[in-house]
Amino acid sequence: MNSFPSEREVIARHATEEGVIQLQRRQQADGSPAYEIIVDGVFLMASYNQASERALAERALPAILARPRDQRRILIGGLGMGFTLQTALAADVGAVDVVELSPHIIQWNHTHFAAINGRALADPRVTLVRDDLYHVLKTAPAAVYCAILLDVDNGPSWLAHEQNARLYTDEAFTRWATLLMEGGIFSVWSAQAEPDFLRRMEAVFDGVAEAVIRAPGSDERRVDHFIYSGSRGRGKQ
């Protein structure tokens, strides 16, 4: 039985400086809506493969929850549909800074996505920062986060926007480590395997690992998503 009995319906489309962003909706077999975000014709994310977006937070939680609650401040780069944020909030983090540049994605989280992410943006622990993530990387104070979770592209070499490449350079790794408390976790979501990215992370972070997350795709397909993570060791900043 096809999980998507209806055709895709475009419910929002906006021209931006970075390109055209589009939100489309399909009806699932149980009658609930499934949402997809497309940027310049490139598929970016969908509500039906949220498992790996939730796993981005879940895999960092043991290290986060081992800390006193006043040290459980995390940074999420890329709001998406709010699933990473919702998962972190459900686990009793202390504070979450969410960086999202697109006003359209922010608006959709207040409207279309609110029912599927538990109205995550309304949680008083959330600070929404509408800014370029690279600017935050360059200006945030040192040693303030116990975890940094990035999901702004389809992967470090499969970018939503070309300028995002600067988030994944060796220089950026060093700066991300500076923003972490000792032992803090740095994690990046990817839609594809990134062996070179993994190797370069090892030069800066401890315990670097690749996790493969099996997720449902469209039209009954299963897809592999990847999470790359490491921690800031003593003296690494």
Predicted confidence (pLDDT) per residue in 190-205, tens digit: 999 999 999 999 999 9
What pLDDT does 188 receive? 98
| 25 lies in some domain | no
| 6 lies in some domain | no
What pLDDT does 18 receive? 78
| 134 lies in some domain | yes
| 60 lies in some domain | yes
> Distance between CA 6 and CA 144 in Å, rounded?
46
How many C-beta neighbours within 10 Å does residue 54 have?
18
**Residue by residue, what is the 3-state secondary structure of the chain?**
CCCCCCCCEEEEEEEECCEEEEEEEEECCCCCEEEEEEECCEEEEEHHHCHHHHHHHHCCHHHHHCCCHHHCEEEEECCCCCHHHHHHHHCCCCEEEEECCCHHHHHHHHCCCCCCCCCHHHCCCEEEECCCHHHHHHHCCCCCEEEEEECCCCECCECCCHHHHHHCCHHHHHHHHHHEEEEEEEEEEECCCCHHHHHHHCCCCEEEEEEEEEEECCCCCEEEEEEEEEECCCCCC
> Distance between CA 224 and CA 214 in Å, rounded?
5
| 4 lies in some domain | no
Quote the domain boundaries for residue 113: 48-231
Predicted confidence (pLDDT) per residue in 55-83, tens digit: 999 999 999 999 999 999 999 999 999 99
> Distance between CA 233 and CA 142 in Å, rounded?
14
What pLDDT does 237 receive? 52
What pLDDT does 91 receive? 94
| 8 lies in some domain | no
Handedness of CA 88, 45, 230, 177 (dihedral sign): negative
Q: Please give the tally of structural domains in the chain.
A: 1
What pLDDT does 152 receive? 94
> Distance between CA 4 and CA 10 in Å, rounded?
15
> Distance between CA 66 and CA 190 in Å, rounded?
26
What pLDDT does 214 receive? 86
CATH number of the domain that 212 lies in?
3.40.50.150
Under-70 pLDDT residues of the chain: 1-3, 5, 216-221, 234-237
What pLDDT does 2 receive? 44
What pLDDT does 1 receive? 38
| 142 lies in some domain | yes
| 21 lies in some domain | no
Give the C-alpha distances (Å, rounded to integers) separating 195 from 126, 155, 207, 226. 33, 11, 15, 11
- To the nearest 10°, report the CA torsion of 225, 202, 133, 53: 20
